[in-house]
Structure formats: C-alpha cells, structure tokens
Structure 1
Amino acid sequence: MAGLARVTPGTDLGEVVEILERDGAVIIENFVDDATLEGLRNDLAPALKGANHCETGYDGHRTRRVNSLFARTRHLTPVVTQPLYLGAARAVMQKPVHMWVGKSRIEITPTIQISATQAIQIDPGQGKQPLHRDDWLHLRRHPGPTSRVQLMLSLTDFTAENGATLVIPGSHHWDDETPPKYSDSFPSAMPAGSALIWLGGVYHSGGANTTDEPRLSLTVSYDLGNLRQEENQYLAVPKETVLELPEEVRRLLGYDSCPPGLGWYEMQDPHMVLEYDDLEQARAAADRHGSSRLN
C-alpha cells in the first residue's frame, strides 16, 4: 500500500464508507472552511499554550492536551456534523441487530454519540506514541463490529516530521494477538483544515515531532450509543452551553436515548431536561406523556 487514501468533501459518502471498511482510515482534505479553522485556532490555542505537558509517557511528556471542547469553542458544530464524518459514522455503526421479544423477532438500530473531545499540541522533542487501538477502552475483541469512528482535525499542517498521526491501514481486520509495528504505519500528512478519520480497531499513534514548531490538532470520537462515553459530556459541557447548540448536536452529546431502552429519564426521552426550566417540570412532562420504554 502506498499510503492513506485521500478524498475531498465532494466525494460520495458510499465511497468514503467503502474506504473505511476496507482500510480503516481515510484523509478528507479541506474538511472545514477557513472561518471554522481560524475560529478553532483562536479559541483553543490559548488553552493549549497554558496547559502543562502530560505526566505519562503514553500521553506524551512533550504533549499538551485540553478537553471539554464544547465548553471552550462555538466552532465544533460544523466539525461533528460534517456530512462525510457524521454520515460515515452512522453508516458504519448504526447497523440493525435482531432480537426476540416473546414471539416477535424485531430489529433494533442503535444510536451513536459523541464520546471524547480533545485538543492536542505535540511540541518539539516529543517522540512517537505507542501504537494502540482506541476501542480498547470498551474491551472490544477483534476482528468484530466497529464501535468507534474517530476524527483528527489538523489545526496546523501535518507532516511526517512534526508528528502527523501514524496509521496502520487494514489493522482493524487483525486479531488481538498480532502486535503492531511502526514499520507498517503511514503518516497522515495533510494540510491544515484537513481531517483523518479512522475506525476504533485501527492501530495508530501520535508521531514524533523533530521540528522546531508545535503540531496542533483536535480529535473527536463517535461511539455506539449503548456504550459509556469516554468523556463525561454532562459534566464537561454546562447546560447553558448545551442549550445554544442545535438539537442534533445536543442529542449527539448524549441527551438522547438508545434503543431499545438506554439513557432514558423518567422512562422518557432525556432531551426533555433541556426543554424545561427545571427537573420538576421535566418530570411532570414525563408523567403527562406516560412510559415509552420497551419493557
């Protein structure tokens, strides 16, 4: 393989999904427009500059990380709703599963949710991160169904020299006994404003920064709605900030239920806690609507 496949925002969603299911990763150039890119840089760069370097070798002794991004910037909505990213995450993960309820065989399609958000600054002198899979957090076995689709947005140019994310294409097809090797990886070199999308079962790592300038990026992950979010979005994002977001993004942050019956509040759609002034009003609304959970 010569490297990672590259597409543009105008590429057909089906083609992107095909690449992801085959290679496990794809680069989308010109993923965001200039205004979004500049807004993200302006909002996140000061927090990154003020952050301490990480304490563990895995996270990087010359790497700075900042979380709770929806509380820090108003420019994430076009990132998480970008059609090829959100569309691919839904196509890859929201696949029906069947079950028997009494004498009825029914199909259930899970939701997806925003799991983690993080801005990352790899400073000069940082070495390679250990190769790893991101879906290990949920103790997934491989090969198997995809439970995470992740994105890395370049806020500065990514090069092989400044720490571009290293990816082993096709490694989501490997079993759990095959160790990853850097020699099998490719750097996700791409211009600022581009994005690398990869599946949770793909081996990858941050690259080494041998230049004199930091590498800036942000990452967002989508997980299946029936799994616990990596970052607790209910604590990370104040309610008043959530209320400023479109309903689709609110639900993606977790204010939604996942069929057949996960995440409900008073056995109702949890989004109602955002539609009323307080929980007592939401509870009263739930009582008026009655139970809708599958029992």
Structure 2
Amino acid sequence: MAGLTRVTSAAALDDVVEILERDGAVIVEDFADPEVLDALWADLGPSLDTDQFSDNWYDGLRTRRVSSLFARTTRLTPVVTHPVFLGAARALMQKPRPMWIGRSRQEMTPSIQISTTQLIQIHEGQGKMPLHRDDALHLRPHPGPTTRVQLMVAMSEFTADNGGTLVIPGSHHWDDERAPRTSEAIPTEMPPGGGLIWVGGVYHGGGKNVTATPRTGLTIALDLGNLRQEENQYLAVPREMVLAYPREVQELLGYDRCPPGLGWVEMHDPDIALQDEETRRQAGLVVGGALADAR
C-alpha cells in the first residue's frame, strides 16, 4: 500500500490543494521549526505531565489530551498561520456563494475559524482509535464541499508502531453508507516538526502504540465560519490571551463576523469585545450593570 504524499513547506499552494482534493491528506515534512516545537513543549508540556488519561474508550484509556491550547500559550501563530495549512484551508473552504437580496445578486465568501485544539499523547498499550470523519460532527452528507481542514503537528516522532495517525486516502469521496476498514488505513510517519493536513471528510484515527515511548501530536482544526465550533473558543480562551495574538489569529478564534452577517454583538463585529473599556461601553456591551467580558 502506497504511503501518503509528502511535500515540504516550500511546495506550491496549488499543488498542495490538488493533493488534498485528490487524497484528502498530505504530509508536510518540515512544517514546524525546532524552535517552535521547543517553545510549545515549554508552555504545554507541563499540562500533559499533570493530566490524567482519558476516561472513555473512544478518546483512549491510555491517551492524554490537553485542550484550550490558545489559553495555555501565545506561541501558536506560526502553526495556525502556516502558509500551507491556512492557505489550503482558505482555498478549499472560502469560496464565494451566490445569493439574492431583493433584486440584487450578491456573492458572499464565508470566513473560517479555529474549531478545536488539542495536544494528544498516546502511550504504550493504547489501541487503535475507531476510524471516523471529523466533519461528521456537523451531520453533513458525503461526499460534498470541504467544511473542515485539520492539522496534526508531530511534537514527537510519528511511526507505524507508536500510534502515528491512521488515514484512508481518498475516503472523503465516499458516501455515508461505505464503512471504513483498518486494512485500508495508512499510518502517518513523520519526524518531529512534521505536519499532517487532512480534510474533514477523510476517515482517520489515532494508531496503536506498541512501543515504550509516547507519541505526542498537536492538532488544530479550521471550520467554516457559519458552523458551530467544536471547542467553544470564546469560553476556552480568556480575553487577555486573545489580545496576545495578532489580529489574524483573533479573527480565526472567532472575533470576526462571517458574511453575510453571522456572529455580531450589539450589531457590531465581535472584535468590539477586544477593544478598550470606553469603546465597549459606547457599543452597549453592558450586562447587569457591568461591562461584558470574555472569560
């Protein structure tokens, strides 16, 4: 069985998009620099060390998961804005949609948003995760347009033996009656700093770890802005942590209005909640006599 297609960060975006449309997944061998990995380990590693194993079979009884990553570090900008990941997500999902407003034909391009974030560490003895589609959360039919593009950054080496993510290339083209089989899945093998990008309709799942070394990956999903986020970023990430990120990342966290008009507050773009106190007061962001604030 052939492995997943591999590219580098220097790959042409059009080529990466073509691979994702064909196979549904691609490996970027040099996705994250060592300095980025070291900084993320410094910020996020302690949370893994104190975290308990998951308490259910689906998430993995020998797997540790840490969420709310943008609340735990300010160093995710080069990950979520990586040109290959963000560029592919924009190309695949941000497509103009026609609509009529009265007698005026308009074209609206939806935004995209960060949906879920996790650090996932698979330990010795963890079995294979059930193969699944991430966009099934939105109960959407397959095949169909891409509504999610997801990333897994290898924080440690990914191999066939230590739980490298299993992927069935091309399965985003299947309908909803065809069941996935593990014999069809290919393990993701990549060095620390490598990145697996896949679309929401691809069947995948964590692999089995038969080694003594944990396998650690960092995942971020981008969804269309008109869908509910899997992880509620407004509650997960305190306002002061959102303010530590550049405007582009703030918009991806949801502080942006999705055309034609989803996500407003007091008829303003939601980024009004990130402005100074007087601006928020003038905008009417007052709840129970106190200024409304994110957690």
Alignment TM class, shorter chain as reference: over 0.9
Contact 1:95 1:109 (8 Å CA) reproduced: yes
Deviation at 1:64, TM superposition (A): 0.5
Kept in 1: contact 2:98–2:106 (CA 8 A): yes
2:152 partner SS:
strand
Let me know the Cα RMSD of the aligned residues. 1.2
Partner of 1:70: 70
SS in 2 for 1:216: strand
Secondary structure of the corresponding residue to residue 87 of structure 1: helix
Partner of 2:288: none
Task: Write the distance in 2 (CA, Å) between the matches of 1:14 and 1:62.
Answer: 39
Q: Deviations over 1:186-211 (max 9, x none)?
A: 01100000100000000000000000
Deviations 1:147-180 (A, max 9, x none): 1000000000000000000000000000000000
Deviation at 1:31, TM superposition (A): 0.5
Contact 1:164 1:206 in 2 (8 A): yes
For 2:155, the equivalent position in structure 1 comes to 155
User: Are 1:177 and 2:190 matched, yes or no?
Assistant: no
**Which residue pairs with 1:230 in the alignment?**
230
Distance 2:236 2:272 in 1: 19
Alignment of 1:236-255 (within 5 A): 236-255=236-255
Aligned partners of 2:112 and 2:224 also within 8 Å: yes
Deviating more after overlay: 156-165 vs 232-241: 232-241
Q: Is the 8 A contact 2:58 2:130 kept in 1?
A: yes
Tell me, yes or no, if structure 1 residue 16 matches structure 2 residue 16. Answer: yes
Q: For 2:270, what is the secondary structure of its paired residue? A: coil
1:45 matches 2:45: yes
Q: Which residue of 1 aligns with 2:135?
A: 135
- On the 8 A contact 2:266/2:284 being kept in 1, the answer is no
Distance 2:125 2:283 in 1: 54
Deviation at 1:44, TM superposition (A): 1.6
* Mapping for residues 77-88 of structure 1, pairs under 5 Å: 77-88=77-88
Q: Given the superposition, is the C-alpha separation of residues 160 and 278 from structure 1 closer, same or farther in structure 2, using an over 3 Å criterion?
A: farther
Shift of 1:32: 1.0
- 1:276 Cα deviation (Å)? 2.1
Query: Does structure 1 residue 30 correspond to structure 2 residue 30?
Result: yes
Partner of 2:270: 270
Question: Match for residue 293 of structure 1?
Answer: none
Uncovered stretches (5+) of structure 2, i.e. residues with no partner = 286-295
The residue number in structure 1 matching 2:96 is 96
Paired position in structure 2 for 1:214: 214
Whether the aligned pair in 2 keeps the contact of 1:276 and 1:282 (CA below 8 Å) is: no
Distance 2:210 2:226 in 1: 41
Matched residue, 2:114 = 114
Counterpart amino acid of residue 224 in structure 1: L
Quote the Cα distance in structure 1 between the aligned partners of 2:18 and 2:111. Answer: 21
**CA distance in 1: counterparts of 2:65 and 2:218, whole angstroms:** 9
Distance 1:278 1:73 in 2: 28
Q: Are the aligned partners of 1:273 and 1:282 in contact in 2 as well (CA < 8 Å)?
A: no
Q: Which moved more, 1:95-104 or 1:106-115?
A: 95-104
Please name the residue that 1:123 is paired with: 123
CA contact (8 A) 2:74 2:244 kept: no
Cα distance between partner residues in 2 of 1:282 and 1:96: 34
* Residue number in structure 2 paired with 1:292: none
Q: Secondary structure at the match of 1:271?
A: helix
1:281 to partner: Cα distance: 2.5
- Mapped contact 2:114–2:229 kept (Cα < 8 A): yes
Q: What amino acid is aligned across from residue 62 of structure 2 in structure 1? A: R
How many residues align? The count is 285
TM-score after normalising by structure 2:
0.94
SS in 2 for 1:242: helix
What corresponds to 1:291 in structure 2? none
User: Amino acid of the residue matched to residue 28 of structure 1?
Assistant: V
Change (3 A) 1:141 1:278: farther
TM-score, normalised with respect to structure 1: 0.94
After TM superposition, the structure 1 stretch with the greater mean CA deviation from structure 2, 38-47 or 160-169, is 38-47
SS at match of 2:283: helix
Report the more deviating stretch, 265-274 or 62-71.
265-274
Tell whether the 8 Å contact from 1:272 to 1:282 is kept in structure 2 after alignment: no
